[in-house]
Amino acid sequence: MVNLSPLAQKFILHFGEMGSRWGINRTVGQIYALLYVSNRPLNADEIAEHLEFSRSNVSMGLKELQSWRLVKLLHQPNDRREYFEPPKDVWDIFKALLEERRRREVEPTLSMLRDAMLESAATEEDRYAQERMREMYELIELSSSWFDDVQRLSPDTLASLMKMGSTVKKLLDVGDVVRGKFGSNNK
């Protein structure tokens, strides 16, 4: 990596390694990480130079990131090159990732489940399988509805909601202790 601080290099390399676990390749992960930590938009030539990637790999990676809505294309005055930057707000990045995962993974699953539930169940095994699929469909639909509501929240409200998780867990833990001490076995 050229002209990058050790801290930036560490972050970029890590994102590349994690990329495969998140469904993107190493190159795309590193391009995104470089753009994320850059204090200004970069063009494809600058990205290729910093990461020592071929220009064609950078172009393909940028197209992938644009399809995920994780980078936006910018133009600079008196410069014909295209520049790229990620959304500034981490909550916008978070929402874009969730929306794209939903579009690419959840919606096709819901469609398959709807189709499967419309088929005529010929055997008891098929009826059982359809019932299980219906349960899965209802759960995914419920989470999708919740996700729609969450998408409309402001970043501050969303952060507060996420922080409630630890508070709710503590309350549930207390409830478990209380039920253990005063439950039906101790009447």
- Provide the number of structural domains found in the chain: 2
Does 79 lie in the same domain as 11?
yes
- Per-residue pLDDT tens for 73-97? 999 999 999 999 999 998 888 888 8
- The predicted pLDDT at position 95 comes to 86
- The predicted pLDDT at position 164 comes to 81
- Answer positive or negative: Cα dihedral of 162, 164, 167, 168: negative
* Range name among 15-19, 122-126, 132-136 with the lowest pLDDT average: 15-19
* Range name among 69-78, 127-136, 144-153 with the lowest pLDDT average: 144-153
Structural domain includes residue 187:
no
- Domain extent, residue 21, equals 6-85
Q: Is the pLDDT of residue 44 over 50?
A: yes
Does 93 lie in the same domain as 44?
no
Determine how many CB atoms are found less than 10 A away from the CB of residue 9: 18
d(CA 59, CA 18): 20
Query: Would you tell me the crossing angle of helices 155-182 and 90-101 to the nearest 10 degrees?
Result: 70
Work out the pLDDT band at 173, boundaries 50, 70, 90. confident
The CB-based long-range contact list for 7-15 (8 Å cut-off, 24+ gap) reads 8/34, 8/37, 11/37, 12/37, 12/51
For residue 163, what are the CA distances in angstroms to 34, 98, 154, 166, 168? 29, 18, 14, 6, 9
Q: Which of 88-102, 106-120, 164-178 ranks highest by mean pLDDT?
A: 106-120
Does 68 lie in the same domain as 92?
no
Does 126 lie in the same domain as 80?
no
Q: What is the DSSP string of 98-138?
A: HHHHIIIIIHHHHHHHHHHHHS---SHHHHHHHHHHHHHHH
- The predicted pLDDT at position 78 comes to 94
- Per-residue pLDDT tens for 4-18? 999 999 999 999 999
CATH number where 36 lies: 1.10.10.10
Q: What is the mean pLDDT of the chain?
A: 90
Q: How many helices (H) and strands (E) does the chain have?
A: 8, 3
